[in-house]
Amino acid sequence: MSIRWKPNVTVAAIIERDGRYLLVEERTSGGLRLNNPAGHLELGESPAQACMREALEETAHAFTPTHLVGVYLSRTIQDQDDITYVRLAFAGELGALEPQRALDDGIVRTVWMSLDEVQASQAMHRSPLVWQCVHDHAKGQRFPLQAVFTHASVSAS
C-alpha cells in the first residue's frame, strides 16, 4: 500500500511601497529568519482570504490582494520530515496599521528592505521562495486574482 503524498499549501503577501518590501523577522527552529508575511491555508478559506489573514496577523496591517504573483513549490527536510510546500504569492495594497494588535507568535518585528537588501539577505531567508517571490514581483510578474478559483464548497458548513 502506498502512502498518499500531500503538499502543504501556504500563502504569502508580497508588499512593496516606494521600492521597499515588507518582510517579517521570525523565530524558527533554525534561529531568526526573514520571510514574506506568510502562512498556511486554513480550512474554509480561499487563498486570498488566507493571505489577508496572515498579513494582518504577522504585520498588524490590513492587506488586500490585487494580483497573483505566482505559484511556487519548494521542498525541505526538517527533523527527518520531507516537506513540500505549494506557495501562492499575492501582491496587493497595504492598509491601515492596527497599532494595538500583537504580532503573531514567533514574529519579532516587521522590516522594510530594498530589493538589493532582500537579495543580499538570502542566507537569512526562511525559504528560497522569499527572494523568488520578491524578484518576480520586482520584474512585474502579475496574474489576475481570477487565476485562483475557490469553489463555494470550500466555505460550506
Specify the pLDDT at position 76.
87
Can you list the domains of the chain with their CATH numbers?
A: 8-148 (3.90.79.10)
Weakest-pLDDT range from 80-84, 88-92, 129-133, 150-154: 80-84
C-alpha cell at 28: 524558527
Q: Is the pTM of this model over 0.85?
A: yes
Cα dihedral: 130, 131, 132, 133 (round 10) = 60
Do 54 and 65 form a contact (C-beta atoms < 8 A)?
no
Write the pLDDT tens digit of every residue in 58-67.
Answer: 999 999 999 9
Q: Mean pLDDT across the stretch 6-24?
A: 96
Q: Mean pLDDT across the stretch 62-85?
A: 92
Q: Does the pLDDT value for residue 82 go beyond 70?
A: yes
